[in-house]
């Protein structure tokens, strides 16, 4: 009898450990500091779990040598290849500018005024810099159409290639090609389109119901087989879902993106700590809705709100699976996509 109890206990423990490993693989997290403290929670997490990835911000960057050492250290700690990402779009979202010794990636708006050959040269320089520094994931390019001239977060910031879907596709495709030439994965964002909004989802609830148009989907449709990941936007559109913003919407992610548009790759959320999510949903509500909607990887930048330890999120999601609020099948599905993505060639130092 004792042997049976011991065996059942062992099997339950292995099942729980495997579940936590799979959940960890679904997380991309940010952290403070320019070096890794051996006693930090991030180091402990990476050593214990196959964490999906990390994202670096300007606060993590000091010099090229320091960044290279940091990414090398991160990969040395991991149990399996780690995604090391950064927002390197160009223009106002140019994280590498502070360490690039004068080299800057032009904004999407400026790139779109160039000949394709010139644009490709700029993007190849960016991709080579990312590779050299140890990044294997770039949260770019932006596929949003510049439909609202007063849109601060995308249009007035120069982050869009323009209002013409064909032009956006052409230049976003050049960026993806350049990243792929250097083994860097690309993230097409922000699905289903943030360029017509009047508000900023970083700050709070952003409703595009009266401004969004279906042709904002065209760049995502055209590039769905080329991009490695698609990032969901935290925008609300009652014509697509009467209750939830895109990141939390099964109608937007599961039905529109997956079933109708045929996208089969990884979906990553925009930062789950942005105001549109954080101010309207608890962490419990947000992760349940996002994962059940079809989001495969959850991004917690730990930059614009109180930081969450990765293990806190892992434990929460594990408990939600055990309670039946998230199905194990959904966790397995996300992991199949993530593991397929990680089998693609990218810098693994």
Beta strands in the chain (DSSP E): 27-29, 53-56, 83-86, 88-90, 93-94, 137-138, 185-191, 206-207, 229-232, 235-236, 266-269, 298-300
Residue 88 β-bridge partners: 94
How many angstroms separate the first and last alpha carbons of the chain? 49
The two tokens of residue 35 are 């070096």
- Count CB atoms within 10 A of the CB of residue 255: 16
Alpha carbons 301 and 167: distance in angstroms, whole number: 31
Which whole-number Å values give the CA distances from 279 to 234, 276, 303, in the listed order? 12, 6, 15
Contact between 146 and 195 (Cβ < 8 Å): yes
Q: Return d(Cα 10, Cα 16) in angstroms, integer.
A: 10
331 to each of 23, 215, 326, how far by Cα in Å?
7, 32, 8
Residue spans of beta strands (DSSP E) within 175-249: 185-191, 206-207, 229-232, 235-236
C-alpha closest to that of 123 among 136, 141, 109 = 141
- The set of catalytic residues is 202, 270
* Residue 252 CA, distance from chain mean position: 17
Query: For 113, how many CA atoms within 13 A lie in the half-sphere containing its CB?
Result: 5
**Distance between CA atoms of residues 246 and 222, nearest Å:** 20
Tokens, residue 311: 């293990």
């Amino acid at each position: 009898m004792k042997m049976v109890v011991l065996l059942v206990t062992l099997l339950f423990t292995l099942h729980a450990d495997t579940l936590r490993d799979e959940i960890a693989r679904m997380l991309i997290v940010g952290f403070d500091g320019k070096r890794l403290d051996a006693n930090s929670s991030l180091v402990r997490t990476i050593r214990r779990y196959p964490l999906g990835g990390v994202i670096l911000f300007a606060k993590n960057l000091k010099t090229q040598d320091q960044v290279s050492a940091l990414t090398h250290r991160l990969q040395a700690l991991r149990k399996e290849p780690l995604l090391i990402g950064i927002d390197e779009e160009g223009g106002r979202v140019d994280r590498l500018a502070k360490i690039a010794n004068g080299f800057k990636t032009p904004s999407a708006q400026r790139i779109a005024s160039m000949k394709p050959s010139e644009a490709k040269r700029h993007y190849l320089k960016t991709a080579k810099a990312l590779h050299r520094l140890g990044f294997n994931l770039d949260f770019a390019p932006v596929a949003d159409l510049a439909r609202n001239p007063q849109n601060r977060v995308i249009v007035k910031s120069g982050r869009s290639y323009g209002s013409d879907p064909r032009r956006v596709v052409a230049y976003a495709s050049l960026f993806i090609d350049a990243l792929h030439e250097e083994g860097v994965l690309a993230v097409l964002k922000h699905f289903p389109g943030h360029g017509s909004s009047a508000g900023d989802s970083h700050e709070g609830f952003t409703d595009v119901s009266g401004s969004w148009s279906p042709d904002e989907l065209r760049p995502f449709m055209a590039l769905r087989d080329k991009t490695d990941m698609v990032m969901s936007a935290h925008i609300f559109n009652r014509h697509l879902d009467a209750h939830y913003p895109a990141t939390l919407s099964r109608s937007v992610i599961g039905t529109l993106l997956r079933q109708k548009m045929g996208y089969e790759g990884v979906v990553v959320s925009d930062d789950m700590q942005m105001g549109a999510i954080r101010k309207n949903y608890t962490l419990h509500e947000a992760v349940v809705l996002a994962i059940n909607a079809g989001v495969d990887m959850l991004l917690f930048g730990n930059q614009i709100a109180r930081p969450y330890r990765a293990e806190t999120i892992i434990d929460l999601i594990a408990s939600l699976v055990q309670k039946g609020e998230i199905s194990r099948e959904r966790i397995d599905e996300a992991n199949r996509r993530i593991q397929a993505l990680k089998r693609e060639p990218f810098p693994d130092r």
